[in-house]
Each structure stands twice: as structure tokens, then as C-alpha cells.
Chains A and B, each alone.
Chain A
Amino acid sequence: MPTTTSNTTRDRFTRLASQWKEESVHMSNTAQMAMLRSYQQIIGMGDPAIPLLLEELQREPDHWFWALEVITSENPVPPEANGRIDDMAQAWINWGRQKGYIA
């Protein structure tokens, strides 16, 4: 169920996402990226993080797919998009629009 996002939640997400991007910039293994504390804290935010993750994918596709899968228990990425970052991001963005998380 889509929820509204408070400024406090958004500020916390922005800080953690920025930290994660800096910490993970040289990583190639997404398991390493997902184990970073900042990423785990975003997963721990639960449902309120969903629209923020989707907005982040709209702004700059990155490896938020693991977090979205864990929080939503869904994976809308079609097999032909596997490994193509922009296409994977678009699949999640389309999913978010269908579910009403983002406009």
C-alpha cells in the first residue's frame, strides 16, 4: 500500500543513499554493496523507502534492485532485461507507477 513520505524519512534516505553511493562506487559485486551498513539501513526503513528508491532509480539507475526485491518480495524485471541496468531500473519504475508509488 503506497504511503506518503515524511521529510524526516526523505532526509534520512537521502543521507544514507549518498553514503552508500560513495562507499560502493568501486564495487563490482552487488553482494558486497548490499552488505554495507548504509544499504542495510535503507532496507530496514521498509515500505516508506519504496517510493524513494524508485525516485532514485528515475534520477540515476543504480543497484537498488536488491533492496526493492527484499522490501516488496517482488521482482518485475523481465529475463531479457537481466544485467542491463537501465532496463532493470525502467522495469521497477513501471512497476512503481502501476502500484501507485510514483507518478
Chain B
Amino acid sequence: MDPHPDFPRLTAANHRDTSPQERRYNCIAWAVEDTEHWWQPGVYWRPPDWPIDEYGLGALERLFLTLGYEDCGMDWSLEPGYLKVALYASGGFVYTHAARQLPTGQWTSKLGKSVDIEHDTPDAIAGGLYGEVMQIMKRAVQKND
């Protein structure tokens, strides 16, 4: 299988589709386990108090800070007791994507208006449309997670 031009590092061996195509929610919503909304800071859903014309990585960082996440550099290893998300950006640091770590250490992503997938590492979906992984954030698991 040739790699899709949007995802040059994605192979049949390092990912699996886990849902049919669905356009009602996006990667950020999926990262916070909401399948009812399209999340876009300052534009759709939350957070509403973000400048509508700022699409930089800071928009995503702010969103996850408001949800209790903290920066943990580029450490995407599995840490028991913590949830992690990976933030992506491309040319000019426009944010492009967010992925969520699963309790197994695998990662899950909603690919825009397309399918959900599981992928082995955050890097597996980088290198194309989503640019590169720019930041990992984490928060402690809570009772209601």
C-alpha cells in the first residue's frame, strides 16, 4: 500500500482504522472524548475566549491548559496515572492536529472529517499534512475519566 500523501509515515503496520468516516467532530474533540462537537478555539465550541483569527499552536496549548493539562516537553512515553495528548503544527506553526494516548500506550486520532485510527506513535501521522509533533501535554487521571 502506498502511503497517502497527507501521511507519508503511515503504513499498514503502524496503524488501524477504528471507526467509519464521521464529519461531526474533529481531532481536538476526539482528544477530549467528545463526539458531539467540532472544537476550534475562538471559533467553534471551546474555549470561546480565544481570538478568532489566531490559529497558532498557542491556541491548542491554551485549550488543553484550561482542561488541566500541563506541558511535558516531547515525552510521549506511557506514564501510569497520566493522560497525554500530542499537539501538531505545520508551516508557520499553524496548529493542525491533536492526538490522545490510550491506556495501552498506543495513540488515537481523528483524521479531520475522516476516520478514527489507532497509531503506534505520535510520529506515525506526522511528516505531511499535520507537520510535526510540537508538544506533548499531560494531566493526572481523575476519578471520572
> Does B24 lie within 8 Å of A86, measured CB to CB?
yes
Residues 84-95 of chain A, each 1 if its beta carbon lies under 8 Å from chain B, else 0:
111000000000
- Bound-state CA distance A62–B113 (Å) is 9
Whether A82 is near chain B, meaning CB under 8 Å from some CB there, is: yes
- The residue on A at minimum CB distance from B28 is A28
Interface of B is mostly: loop
For B6, what are the chain A residues with a Cβ–Cβ distance below 8 Å?
26
Residues 91-102 of chain B, each 1 if its beta carbon lies under 8 Å from chain A, else 0:
000111110000
- Bound-state CA distance A32–B130 (Å) is 11
Residues 17-52 of chain B, each 1 if its beta carbon lies under 8 Å from chain A, else 0:
000000110111000000011111001111000000
Interface size on A, residues (CB 8 A): 17
Interface size on B, residues (CB 8 A): 28
For A85, what are the chain B residues with a Cβ–Cβ distance below 8 Å?
23-24, 38
Whether B83 is near chain A, meaning CB under 8 Å from some CB there, is: no
> Does A25 lie within 8 Å of B38, measured CB to CB?
no
Whether B129 is near chain A, meaning CB under 8 Å from some CB there, is: yes
Whether B114 is near chain A, meaning CB under 8 Å from some CB there, is: yes
Residues 46-66 of chain A, each 1 if its beta carbon lies under 8 Å from chain B, else 0:
000000000000001110000
Pick from A31, A61, A86: contact of B55, CB under 8 Å? A31
For A25, what are the chain B residues with a Cβ–Cβ distance below 8 Å?
111-114
> Does B38 lie within 8 Å of A83, measured CB to CB?
yes
Q: A interface vs B, CB < 8 Å? A: 24-32, 60-62, 82-86
Q: B interface vs A, CB < 8 Å? A: 6-7, 23-24, 26-28, 36-40, 43-46, 55, 94-98, 110-114, 129
A-B contacts besides A26-B111, A26-B129, A28-B97, 16 pairs, CB < 8 Å: A25-B114, A26-B112, A27-B96, A27-B112, A27-B113, A27-B129, A28-B96, A29-B94, A30-B40, A32-B96, A61-B23, A82-B45, A83-B36, A83-B37, A83-B40, A83-B44
